[in-house]
């Protein structure tokens, strides 16, 4: 149902924001390997995909952010703001324009027919997938990684506990 999606997405987007809020503008432009996206490119991709993917379903969602790979004036705060705005737009759009029956409607998504339910599921999984990549890049860039589904190494230490192996 739409309620099930929105309940989960609200929680997952808060986890994404938890990570994005740790990023610094300097960290956006760090790369660890030429075959791997920079932190900024990956954070941009997470934010931008909310609007890009969901606009293919007819929803009116924009993401007002430039790609840090193309514009080195992009700041970490701008990415956070753009992501939060896209999430808020998505939640408002599906609340006002869709019903549970809308989940069965199909759209051409990347040369395939996807139901709106499948699109929402893929959007969620896509974000979680890239959020995992982001945590690795953050660690390699020397940023403190907050826990998402459990404590991070630094959080274990804050709790006075030995990190689980």
Q: What is the pLDDT of residues 28-42, one digit of tens each?
A: 998 888 888 999 999
Q: What is the pLDDT of residue 161?
A: 78
pLDDT digits (tens, 9 = 90+) for 105-160: 999 999 999 999 999 999 999 999 999 999 999 999 999 999 999 888 888 888 77
pLDDT for the residue numbered 48: 97
76 SS3 class: helix
CA distance 19 to 165: 22
pLDDT in tens, 79-91: 999 999 999 999 9
Angle at 134 between CA 141 and CA 157, to 5 degrees: 65
* pLDDT for the residue numbered 124: 98
When computed from its CA atoms, the radius of gyration of the chain, rounded to whole angstroms, is 17
């Amino acid at each position: 149902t739409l309620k099930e999606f929105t309940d989960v997405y609200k929680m997952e987007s808060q986890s994404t924001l938890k990570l994005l809020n740790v990023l610094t503008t300097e960290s956006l432009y760090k790369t660890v390997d030429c075959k791997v996206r920079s932190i900024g490119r990956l954070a941009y991709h997470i934010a931008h995909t909310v609007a890009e993917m969901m606009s293919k379903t007819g929803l009116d969602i924009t993401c007002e952010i430039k790609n840090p790979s193309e514009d080195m004036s992009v700041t970490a705060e701008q990415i956070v703001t753009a992501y939060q705005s896209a999430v808020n737009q998505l939640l408002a759009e599906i609340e006002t324009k869709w019903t549970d029956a809308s989940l069965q409607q199909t759209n051409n998504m990347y040369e395939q027919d996807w139901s709106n339910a499948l699109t929402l599921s893929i959007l969620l999984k896509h974000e979680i997938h890239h959020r995992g990549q982001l945590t690795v890049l953050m660690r390699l860039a020397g940023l403190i990684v907050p826990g998402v589904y459990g404590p991070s190494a630094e959080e274990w230490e804050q709790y006075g506990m030995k990190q689980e192996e």
